[in-house]
Amino acid sequence: MRQYLDYLQDILDHGTRHEDRTGTGTIRVFGRQLRFDLTEGFPLLTTKRVWMRGVTEELLWFLRGETNIQSLVQAGVSIWTDWPLQRYRDETGDEISQEAFEERIATDDAFAERWGDLGPVYGTQWRDFEGPEGRVDQIERLVRGLRETPHSRRHVVSAWHPAQIEDAALPPCHYAFQCFVEGEPGDGRLSLMWQQRSVDSFLFLN
């Protein structure tokens, strides 16, 4: 994790302080890159808390094309609850607790349909992107492209849809990724470049 620690030091040494929408404040840098060789293992950070089950459930939720928090809540994952909860409170005036809200989301399908949706977030953009010629399943297209034309330079998935940003509960942080294949089919090397406009970086001290 030396690379991650060096990245954090770079933020402290070269970052500038700014206010942000959360009121917390940030120290910011722009355009940094971390590179990991996955043949050496999965780069799970040990300097911060990483809840792998939550990470896995969220990724599967994206891949299923879902945008409603019901299945996440039913799996015990609350990382997307803040936005629909705040919308419910603002629109109804009911200062319901998060626990009570999630209980209703998990057990009441009609309530979940009305209050649990986040708008066109990752699930929509990955699996049902609205283009000028119809809907595009970007994950299906990516997998098909990797199989049929592995050396193409067009293996890109984008979650950034300018026309729908305002309709989503939160604009995408990781807004695009690109796959790149070296070597011949069956004996190639798959690389991934992941791009984020915003990422929280911190060090957990035990």
Angle, CA 109 vertex, CA 172 and CA 63 arms, to 5°: 35
Angle, CA 84 vertex, CA 136 and CA 74 arms, to 5°: 80
Buried b (16+ CB within 10 A) or exposed e, 98-110: eeebbebbbeeee
Cα radius of gyration (the chain): 19
Single-letter code of the amino acid located at 9: Q
Running DSSP on this structure, what letter comes out for residue 164? G
Q: What positions carry a catalytic annotation?
A: 173
What element of type H or E holds 7? helix 2-14
Report strand pairing: 129-131 vs 189-196.
Answer: unpaired
What is the C-alpha separation between 176 and 1, in angstroms, rounded? 24
